[in-house]
Amino acid sequence: MCGIAGYVGKRRVAPLLVDSLKRLEYRGYDSCGIATLDGGKVWIKKDMGKIDDVDGKMDLKNLPGNIGFGHTRWATHGKVSKRNSHPQTDCKDRIAVIHNGIIENFSELKKRLKRKGHRFRSETDTEVIAHLIEDNLRSGLDLEEAVRKSMNSLKGRSAIIVAERGFPGLIAARTGSPLILGVGRDEYFIASDVPAFLNHTRKVMYLDDGEMVVVEGEPRFRNLTDGKGIEKRVITIDWDAKQAEKGEHEHYMIKEILEQKETIMKAINQDEREIRRVANEINKAFGVFLTGCGTAGKVCQTGEYVFSNVANKHVNYVVSSEFPNYRNFLTKKTLLITVSQSGETADVLEAVKAAKEKGVKVISLVNVKGSTLDRVSDITFLIKAGPEKAVASTKATTAQLAILYLLAYACAGKLNEGKKLLLETASKINDMLNPRYEEYIKKLAKKICREKNVYIIGKALNYPMALEGAIKIMEVSYIHAQGFAGGELKHGPIALIEKGSPCIVLTANDGMNNIIGNAMEVRARGGFIIGVGPKRNEVFDYWLKTPDVGLASPIVNIIPVQLLAYHLGVLRGCDIDQPRNLAKSVTVE
């Protein structure tokens, strides 16, 4: 989940790296560091803290040279400290390495290297890589072969960039974690995600699992297993740099919430022939699974309800980390639909791996063209939300929901009806998201921002959105929040209700949402009822109106909760775009 960025070219590298790391900070922000090559030396500066803080303290931009790399850390092995920051080096500071991922066998490797006399200075698994390369160099291998052999010794998911004193370039390799080469004019960028270099080039070459690239002059791609050369094609990304900037907004999160005026419309602009083809695959499959993690998992759970109510079709939702346990149900007639913003989520990729081993066809909804999930899927629908940089997902969520609705309606032979519903929904969201509406939600946030607990209830299609709303409030404001099916409150959780306890009630005019009775049960015990939906009810102490869109209510009902979570976080002084302990792309298991 760490962010890694490298550069080989003619420009001064340090300022470029600082800028790239700022653009990758959503991937990790415990600590950061930079290494550059110049004058036969490896220059390193690193420390705990965010990029701006460390740069202000250590003047990262003044490191010399035009070759180098940088890293933002999301800690796994070893506490957050300066010595555990990346880059990590070998015994003689000849080799520098940055790394994203987890080395599962690092303890075994570390013990072996210590017996050979290697001295370790950190608690990280990453440092093992630098010493492995050093050890292989001692045996007479050149740097390329030393890196290749070292990577083949590692177990787990990893992406690395390596620099050596005196070597006029960089070497990068991946086994599971994402890595991309950006192609400029006589210059090359290496990064874990496209936004790192999007303001310099939109031309990319993707490393697949088990591949390495030597960036010394023209890039040379090789297979890690046998060392054979690999031909790569250049792909042009259709994002532009402005999409990845905050613009006039204080935070990425609010920018991305407001962009839902347009992103849902973009999401449903899909090839209708492809939608119908996939609907046919779903209808003829013997067992259909939906899988995702976190917020994407709640989208899948909503999809289970949507397919049931729209297409009279049973699909199974399984959270990705648990999906391999279902492998005994999988056959060549099974279909797996995966949902992921980044297309690099480790648990999702493991689910796909388990499915592929059984011959299952994989269809994916993903936001990043060329991502690992995009490349390993049989069919991909790009959700077209543009870069989403806030850790808390918002616009990607509703775009993913929209495509699942399209597929469900197509399965029922009602694609045009579904598309009409979603177009109307997008139009009504455009009307809803106005400054007055946001101000009204901000007023509510002021009322409840000092509460320790918030409860959210929903029924039918809105039950998964109650769970998602709780995720949003927790990750952005650090208020403990829980989502429940409305009918489950009386089976235990209602014991938590005290006088003034905020309870958000998601309602809809869809013929299934008889949740008002549950809201009354909470109010009778002193709860403060916040209604979300198209109709005011006397049980509501505060009402957040949403458009009446029938079965599409989950798409509109989650948006005011996103706004509430945002303003709660602002009022509580939280780090909105980079919440503590979290990272955007969860590329470790």
Tell me the per-residue pLDDT of 540-573, one tens digit each, with 9 for 90 and over.
999 999 999 999 999 999 999 999 999 999 999 9
Q: pLDDT band at residue 243, thresholds of 50, 70 and 90?
A: low
What does the pLDDT look like over 180-238, one tens digit per residue? 999 999 999 999 888 888 889 989 998 988 999 999 989 999 999 999 999 998 988 77
Judge whether 6 and 69 are in contact, CB under 8 Å.
Answer: yes
**Is 587 inside any structural domain?**
no
Judge whether 269 and 407 are in contact, CB under 8 Å.
Answer: no
| Residues 504, 416 within the same domain | no
Last residue of a domain, one of 381, 396, 431: 431
| Residues 40, 169 within the same domain | yes
| Block residue for tokens 């969201």 | 429
What pLDDT is stored for residue 493 in this prediction?
A: 81
Q: What is the tally of structural domains in the chain? A: 3
Q: pLDDT band at residue 240, thresholds of 50, 70 and 90?
A: low
Catalytic machinery residues: 2, 584
What pLDDT is stored for residue 368 in this prediction?
A: 86
What pLDDT is stored for residue 54 in this prediction?
A: 87
Q: Do you find a cis peptide bond into 87, omega within 30 degrees of 0? A: yes
Q: pLDDT band at residue 414, thresholds of 50, 70 and 90?
A: very high
What does the pLDDT look like over 191-201, one tens digit per residue? 988 888 888 99
| Residues 107, 192 within the same domain | yes
What does the pLDDT look like over 83-110, one tens digit per residue? 888 899 999 999 999 998 889 898 999 9
| Residues 508, 557 within the same domain | yes
| Residues 408, 468 within the same domain | no
Judge whether 236 and 222 are in contact, CB under 8 Å.
Answer: no
| Residues 366, 424 within the same domain | yes
**Is 588 inside any structural domain?**
no
**Is 584 inside any structural domain?**
no
Judge whether 524 and 496 are in contact, CB under 8 Å.
Answer: no
| Residues 274, 375 within the same domain | yes
Q: pLDDT band at residue 23, thresholds of 50, 70 and 90?
A: confident
What pLDDT is stored for residue 482 in this prediction?
A: 94
**Is 529 inside any structural domain?**
yes
CA-CA distance, 448 to 316, in Å (whole number)?
Answer: 36
DSSP code for 77:
S
| Residues 111, 26 within the same domain | yes
Predicted confidence (pLDDT) at residue 140 exceeds the cutoff of 90: yes
pTM: 0.74
Burial readout 45-64 (b: 16 or more C-beta within 10 A, e: otherwise): bbbbbbbeebbeebebbebe
Q: Indicate the pairing of strand 211-215 with strand 170-175.
A: antiparallel
What is the CA 170 to chain-centroid distance, rounded?
A: 27
- Give the CATH number of the domain where residue 288 resides: 3.40.50.10490
| Residues 416, 298 within the same domain | yes
Task: List CB contacts of 57: < 8 A, sequence separation 6 or more.
Answer: 47, 49
**Is 127 inside any structural domain?**
yes
What pLDDT is stored for residue 494 in this prediction?
A: 84
Mean pLDDT, residues 380-388 taken together: 91
What pLDDT is stored for residue 585 in this prediction?
A: 55
What does the pLDDT look like over 460-497, one tens digit per residue? 999 999 999 999 999 999 999 999 998 887 788 888 88
**Is 318 inside any structural domain?**
yes
Q: Considering the chain, what is the average pLDDT of its residues?
A: 91
| Residues 459, 543 within the same domain | yes
Q: Which of 202-206, 231-235, 324-328, 407-411 has the highest average model confidence (pLDDT)? A: 407-411
| Block residue for tokens 């101000």 | 439
Judge whether 336 and 361 are in contact, CB under 8 Å.
Answer: yes
What pLDDT is stored for residue 586 in this prediction?
A: 56
Last residue of a domain, one of 195, 225, 243: 243
Residue 150 structural domain: 3-243
| Residues 55, 193 within the same domain | yes
Judge whether 34 and 54 are in contact, CB under 8 Å.
Answer: no
- Give the CATH number of the domain where residue 59 resides: 3.60.20.10
Q: pLDDT band at residue 248, thresholds of 50, 70 and 90?
A: confident
What pLDDT is stored for residue 578 in this prediction?
A: 84
Mean pLDDT, residues 3-11 taken together: 93
**Is 586 inside any structural domain?**
no
Predicted confidence (pLDDT) at residue 589 exceeds the cutoff of 80: no
What does the pLDDT look like over 418-462, one tens digit per residue? 999 999 999 999 889 998 999 999 999 999 999 999 999 999 999
Predicted confidence (pLDDT) at residue 165 exceeds the cutoff of 60: yes
Q: pLDDT band at residue 291, thresholds of 50, 70 and 90?
A: very high
Closest C-alpha among 404, 393, 340, 349 to residue 367: 340
Last residue of a domain, one of 397, 431, 465: 431
| Residues 103, 28 within the same domain | yes
**Is 585 inside any structural domain?**
no
CA-CA distance, 361 to 180, in Å (whole number)?
Answer: 26
